[in-house]
Homo-oligomer: A and B are copies of this chain.
Amino acid sequence: MMATQLTADKQVQEVLDALKGKTIKNVFFVACGGSSALMYPSKYLLDREAKTIESDLYSSNEFIHRNPVKLGKDSLVILCSHAGKTPETVKSVSFAKSKGATTVALTHELGSPLTADADFVLRYEWGKEANAFNTNYSFMYQLVMGLVSIYEENDNYQKMLSSLDQLQTVYDRALEQFKDKAEQFGHDYKDEKIIYTMGSGANYGIAYSFAICILMEMQWIHSHAIHAGEYFHGPFEILDKDVPFIILLGLDETRPLEERALKFSKRFGEKLVVLDAKDFDLKEIDESMKKYIAPLVLNHVLRLYAEKLADERNHPLSERRYMWKLEY
């Protein structure tokens, strides 16, 4: 009996079908802030899986002004803006098209400016009601693993689809599992003025997102994401018993970097918040895809940590002093 062939989201499948006849030499991941951070795992995936397709990731305005000379008709530019209104990401669509590139725009808002000129639009779900299979991280993986599957011999596409198909179950269970720890985190760290985050490989974008979007933007707490491998070449000198670090441990090939960073941090640090993907129950996920799924689950759990921190600090995640309030 033949195994059932799973299919990607219909919108993603349309992109893949259209790309089958085209030559794609390089992929550019283009977005800002949190929308950029969610593309880091896909860059990691391409580095690991794609034998011929090159890839680069740039913040939207860096992309436009850097104007990489390799951007051209054989380029695929994948963009994302949640509300579809980020000016530099919207501008990146027309910029990329003017160079002959093919553009795929991810957004939650159909009809937003981002979607106006894009060759393809992927409208993802969002929020408590969304099914994880139809959310931004999942669409990214469906798209990039799909790309590898149509251009190169690679049998991981079905494994990825079946894993993403079970993602919501994993998410729900992880949230339940980490409920108390998230509350404890909010309680213990509510008075901190600075909290660093750390990770490597497919996790680095998750650490980056938590640092710049949650801590700096939404909580006005000093932060930044330290790469676990770079830690030993400068940043670790800042470690002390009163300096908080959120340390992520994933399941990808770079886990030894995160383990080494944690081991050292434990010698001299006392405010260490460790989220280890080994503690997740990922039984529905294909064994070889766990490394890619882990950062998504870490990110999902960290959102709960953010909510609990915001509650304890009486500082809603929606509060801003500059964003949405000023022209800049």
Chain A contacts to B: CB under 8 angstroms = 26, 32-34, 36, 44, 47-52, 54, 56, 59-62, 65-70, 86, 88, 194, 200-201, 212-213, 216-218, 220-227, 229-230, 232-239, 253-257, 260, 264, 268, 320-323, 328
Contact = CB atoms under 8 A, between A and B. Distances in A.
A197 B293 CA distance: 33
B50 A69 contact: yes
A65 B238 CA distance: 25
A220 B236 contact: no
A59 B227 contact: yes
B61 A229 contact: yes
B50 A66 contact: no
Given A59-B227, A224-B224, A254 B47 contact: no
B33 A254 contact: no
A272 to B, nearest CB: 16
Contacts of A59: 227, 229-230, 233
B217 A60 contact: no
A226 B235 CA distance: 15
A322 B54 contact: no
Contacts of A34: 233-234
Nearest to A209: B234
Contact of A256 (B65, B201, B216, B226): B65
